């Protein structure tokens, strides 16, 4: 089975620009999560979708971040406008409620300069 796919794998943008990260979960997984690791700190939870609905977005840092999950399939995470402190690695993960096994993607390394 294909894993969780994220792209781009790397993105370098200037402060003030907009960036959109994409995540394709494992087919059939109803749960989709976004996490972020900044500058050697812990990986922090951002939000959780169940199908197309946001179940928990308590980890979203501010209103510059917008996540969507179209039709309960792939998800996008848009940062607008990007700030320096947004630099880090953004991980996506998915799981199927009945099994509970969480699979992570390879991450997108975002650098804001």
CB of 1 to other proteins, least distance (A): 15
Say which residue the tokens 């980890």 belong to: 59
Could you give the residue ranges of the DSSP H alpha helices within 46-111?
Answer: none
- CA 89 – CA 43 distance, rounded (Å): 9
β-strand pairing of 43-50 with 53-56: antiparallel
Footprint on this chain of other proteins (rule: CB under 8 A): 4, 6, 31, 33, 35, 37, 40-45, 48, 50, 55-56, 91, 93, 95, 97, 100, 102, 104-107
Q: Closest CB to other proteins among 17 and 44?
A: 44
Tokens of 68: 């969507």
Q: Are 107 and 43 in contact (CB under 8 A)?
A: no
Q: Closest CB to other proteins among 17 and 31?
A: 31
Q: Closest CB to other proteins among 15 and 56?
A: 56
CB of 106 to other proteins, least distance (A): 3
């Amino acid at each position: 089975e294909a894993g969780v796919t994220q792209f781009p794998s790397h993105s370098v943008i200037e402060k003030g620009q907009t960036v959109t990260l994409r995540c394709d979960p494992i087919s059939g997984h109803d749960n989709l999560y976004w996490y972020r690791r900044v500058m050697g700190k812990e990986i922090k939870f951002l939000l959780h979708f169940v199908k197309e609905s946001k179940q928990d977005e308590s980890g979203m840092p501010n209103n510059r971040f917008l996540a969507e999950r179209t039709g309960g399939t792939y998800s996008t995470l848009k940062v607008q406008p990007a700030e320096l402190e947004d630099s880090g690695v953004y991980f996506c993960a998915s799981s199927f409620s009945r099994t509970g096994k969480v699979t992570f993607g390879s991450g997108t390394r975002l650098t804001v300069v």
